[in-house]
Structures are given as structure tokens and as C-alpha cells.
Amino acid sequence: MRHSSCERFVCLTDMDGEFEPGIEIQPFALPYRNYFSICEIFRPDLDLGRAFFTGLDTIITGSLDEIMGYGGQYGLLNNVPRHRLRRKAWRDFWPRVRFGNGVVMWAPEVGRQLWETYIEQPEHWHRTTVMPGHKAGSEMAFMCEQAPVTPDALDSLYPDQIVSFRRGGIKKHKRVKNARIVYFHGFDKPHTIAGHPVVRSHWI
């Protein structure tokens, strides 16, 4: 919250506990506990309006004011799992997940349409989006394929502000002085590398 002047800070959770003042707690509404729980960010009862989402494994390192000025309809992150593309199954599947959801921004109408599509038959989407080598469906495939508009790549719009921990060089201690958001993918997660300077300084 210290990096943004947003009107509401909403946390979707199934956990009890103490939260910082100013954080609005909303319980998950659906019984599923899988990747598709992320789709609950589009629930109309949350009344989020134009919204910004990050997962718990995304680190905010600076002011979000410029990024929050994004005026597009729907923004995700580039997703290029190069090491996996050597396998044919992943080459075939990858166009379905060409964007990632470590950061998501959306206009209300886009969120409404995604929610209506998902909630009409959630278990269908769970079954039909299974990634190679996985048992669970991919919410990223759903969010890419079923969106009513083509997503913008936020890390291309703000290339020096939204940075991959791995591909952006931060993992190897490269300093990215203008970074505002550091997102994680693959095996590295903040809680597994808590001693890294960026994680130690900015992850709570």
C-alpha cells in the first residue's frame, strides 16, 4: 500500500489471522482450491472497478503510479518458457498460455465477461486446460483464450518497471534501478530465496 494511492486494497484468502489496517479481506466464494481460484478476482460482487492484481509471489519495489495509469482493457505478462519449448508437447500447448498472470490489470467489462464465462461451467475449464505433465488445469490458458479482447503485455509497455526475477537479471544480482514490480516464475519463489537482497529488502 505504501507504493500506491489506490482506493482499496483487497486480499482474497481462505486463511484466518491478523492483517494490516486498511487491507480489506474477502474470502474465496467457490469450493475449488486450485489455480483457478485466481479467477475469483473477476467476481462482480467484489465491485473492484478498474483493477490491478498481483500474486503473493510478486514483489513491489517502488511506486506503481505510472503503471496504475494503464488505460487499456486487459493487461497480462509475456510468458516465454524457453526451456520447455524444446518439448513438442509444450510447443503445441504454449500458444494457449502465451501470457502469464503474475500481474493482471483489467477494465470492468472484461472482468465481467471472463467471470460469466468461467462460472457457467468451471469444471469444464478445469478439465480442458491441463498443461503437459500436469494434472491440474491452467487458469492462464483460460485467461488468455477466453478473454473478450487480446491482452496487452504489461512488461512490454513498462519494460524497465515490470521485471522478471530470472530473465531480468535480478537473480544474478543485476541492479535494475527503475524496477517497480519483480515477478517470479519457475522454481524460484520469494520464500525459497529469502536471503536475496531484493527479497530481503522488499518482501514482507
Q: Set out the domains of the chain in order of their start, with CATH numbers.
A: 9-202 (3.90.550)
Distance CA 137, CA 131 (A): 6
The stretch 101-110 carries a mean pLDDT of 96
**Lowest model confidence (mean pLDDT) among 33-37, 87-91, 100-104, 151-155:** 87-91
Minimal CA–CA distance to 101: which of 75, 122, 67? 75
Per the CB < 8 A criterion, the answer to whether 154 and 77 are in contact is yes
pLDDT of amino acid 39? 97
From residue 191, alpha-carbon distances to 58, 60, 203 in Å are 11, 15, 9
> Which 3 state secondary structure label does DSSP give 93?
helix
pLDDT of amino acid 169? 67
> Is residue 89 over pLDDT 80?
no
Task: Dump pLDDT digits (tens) for 6-24.
Answer: 778 999 998 888 888 888 9
Minimal CA–CA distance to 47: which of 100, 112, 119, 103? 112
pLDDT of amino acid 172? 66
Measure the CA angle with vertex 98, ends 35 and 56; round to 5°: 40
Task: Map grid coordinates 479481506 to a residue.
Answer: 25
pLDDT of amino acid 130? 86
Q: What is the mean pLDDT of the chain?
A: 86
Per the CB < 8 A criterion, the answer to whether 179 and 165 are in contact is no
From residue 126, alpha-carbon distances to 39, 54, 117, 121 in Å are 12, 22, 13, 9
> Is residue 1 over pLDDT 80?
no
Task: Dump pLDDT digits (tens) for 31-77.
Answer: 998 889 999 999 999 999 999 999 888 889 989 999 999 999 999 99
The H or E element spanning position 27 is: strand 23-27
Among residues of the chain, what percentage have pLDDT more than 90?
47
pLDDT of amino acid 18? 82
Cell of 61: 519495489
